[in-house]
């Protein structure tokens, strides 16, 4: 009995190819006829992989045909060239890396862990995953948890929106009692306001040149509308300012902000300027207690987080290597019947398809 992984990912194939081999309702039939005794399909937006166990070797082309969504199921040589194949311990290593987020496009993302778990649980429920895949995936979940716990691979945010919200939490802690003013009621403002609302912000104020649009967004996020002429005055009271207007010139500079800060020397002001061109003069960041982040600096923080995560790959690989050695030892010393026992079922049910991101 050998086990293997055949698949495509963002490393080897473009989105068109991944779409072409994403599998469909017929995938199960082809896998069954191909001789897989156990099989599991993991399909996310960045990868399509089959993890399987079989008595005889099943070629990559067969698996590719199984995954093909074309009616004729013809797969050219060029198309299969994008597939990778890992056997035995290489397969174990690959799964551990995938589940830990080491192999992800955004290193350290945790969503893939949930997707792997969901794929496994569904395959187990239908009997598609037997004792071999059970052991393999249970071990992968333990490895992923250990990597998350013992390295900083999931540390920091890697998207501009979440960086802004995380920074707000690093400055203020609990956001529930913070006052937020959103200037400019465009799509970006709406998304940011919603994100803040989801993090517990209750006091949300919205200001826009168009009073109707401000009122509309305020109602959407449970806030209040502020007349556009008065938004600067609000800087005396608020904790977080989000600006995203289409103004050609900066709306806020040290000159007009300084008088607002006189009575709030002990309260920080976090300004998120996501407008291009910028709404806030960069010199504002030099003012005491003011933390200004524009779109570039948010992007820079996101990149720093990603770089920090990449630095953790070595530590994660070390944990993975330890578990591969342990898995190998257990696998080699375990009698074969444990892997092909009575609970083992042939591929009679459909392999699971994980919903795309």
Partner 1 sequence: MRTIIALGAGTFRLGRFSFLAIGLGFIFQTAFLSIRGQELHRCPVTNLFEVLIFLAWSVALIYMVIGPAYRLSLMGAFTAPLVFLIQTLALLAPIDVRRPVKLPANAWLEFHASMSIVAYGAFALACVAGVMYLVQERQLKTHQLHSIFYHLPPLTDLFAAITRLLWVGFALYTLGLASGFFVDAPLPRVQMMCAFGVWLLYAAILQGRHLRRLAPTRVAALCIVGFAAALTLLWGISFTAQMHSLP
Q: What is the contact surface with partner 1 in residues (CB under 8 A)?
A: 149-152, 155-156, 167, 169-173, 263-266, 268, 285, 288-289, 291, 293, 297, 300-301, 304-305, 308, 311-312, 315
In angstroms, give the least distance from the CB of 305 to partner 1: 8
Distance CA 241, CA 184 (A): 11
- Residue closest to 230 by CA, chosen among 251, 201, 261: 251
Task: List strand residue ranges (DSSP E) for 221-261, in order.
Answer: 224-226, 240-243
In angstroms, give the least distance from the CB of 150 to partner 1: 7
Nearer Cβ to partner 1 (89/308) = 308
CA angle 199–204–205, rounded 5-degree value:
155
Pairing of strands 290-294, 84-87: unpaired
Place of tokens 């993890």: 51
Query: How many beta carbons lie within 10 A of that of residue 87, not counting itself?
Result: 13
Query: How many beta carbons lie within 10 A of that of residue 244, not counting itself?
Result: 23
Distance CA 302, CA 308 (A): 10
Distance CA 236, CA 240 (A): 11
Nearer Cβ to partner 1 (1/202) = 202
Nearer Cβ to partner 1 (46/151) = 151
In angstroms, give the least distance from the CB of 315 to partner 1: 6
Active site residue 29: no
Q: Classify residue 216 as exposed, middle or buried by CB count within 10 Å of its CB (0-12, 13-18, 19+).
A: middle
Place of tokens 């070595």: 314
Tokens coding 296: 């570039």
Tokens coding 152: 């900083």
Distance CA 42, CA 153 (A): 22
Greatest pairwise CA separation for the chain in angstroms:
79
Tokens coding 223: 């806030």
In the set 5, 29, 45, 139, the catalytic residue is 45
Q: Terminal CA-to-CA distance of the chain, rounded, Å?
A: 33
Distance CA 100, CA 112 (A): 8
Active site (catalytic) residues = 45
């Amino acid at each position: 009995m050998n086990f293997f992984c055949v698949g495509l990912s963002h490393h080897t194939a473009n989105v068109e190819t991944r779409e072409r081999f994403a599998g469909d309702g017929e995938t199960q039939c082809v896998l069954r006829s191909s001789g897989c005794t156990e099989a599991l399909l993991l399909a996310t937006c960045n990868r399509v992989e089959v993890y399987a166990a079989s008595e005889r070797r099943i070629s990559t082309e067969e698996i590719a045909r199984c995954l093909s969504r074309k009616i004729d199921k013809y797969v050219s040589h060029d198309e299969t060239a994008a597939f990778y194949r890992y056997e035995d311990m290489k397969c174990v290593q690959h799964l551990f890396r995938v589940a830990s987020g080491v192999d992800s496009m955004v290193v350290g993302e945790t969503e893939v862990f949930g997707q792997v778990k969901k794929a496994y649980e569904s395959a187990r429920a239908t009997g598609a995953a037997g004792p071999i895949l059970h052991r393999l995936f249970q071990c992968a979940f333990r490895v992923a948890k250990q990597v998350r716990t013992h390295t900083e691979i999931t540390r920091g945010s890697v998207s501009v929106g979440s960086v802004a919200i995380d920074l707000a939490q690093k400055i203020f802690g609990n956001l529930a009692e913070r006052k937020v003013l959103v200037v400019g009621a465009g799509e970006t403002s709406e998304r940011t306001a919603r994100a803040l609302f989801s993090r517990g912000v209750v006091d949300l104020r919205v200001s826009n040149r168009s009073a109707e649009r401000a009122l509309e967004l305020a109602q959407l996020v449970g806030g209040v509308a502020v007349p556009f002429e008065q938004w600067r005055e609000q800087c005396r009271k608020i904790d977080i300012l989000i600006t995203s207007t289409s103004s050609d010139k900066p709306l806020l500079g040290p000159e007009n902000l300084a008088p607002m800060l006189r009575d709030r020397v002990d309260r920080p002001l976090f300004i998120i300027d996501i407008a291009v061109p910028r709404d806030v003069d960069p010199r504002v960041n030099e003012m005491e207690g003011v933390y200004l982040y524009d779109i570039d600096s948010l992007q820079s923080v996101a990149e720093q987080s990603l770089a920090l995560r990449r630095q953790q790959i070595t530590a994660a690989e070390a944990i993975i290597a330890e578990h591969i050695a342990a898995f190998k030892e257990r696998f080699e010393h375990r009698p074969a019947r444990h892997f092909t026992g009575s609970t083992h079922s042939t591929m009679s049910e459909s392999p699971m398809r994980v919903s795309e991101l």
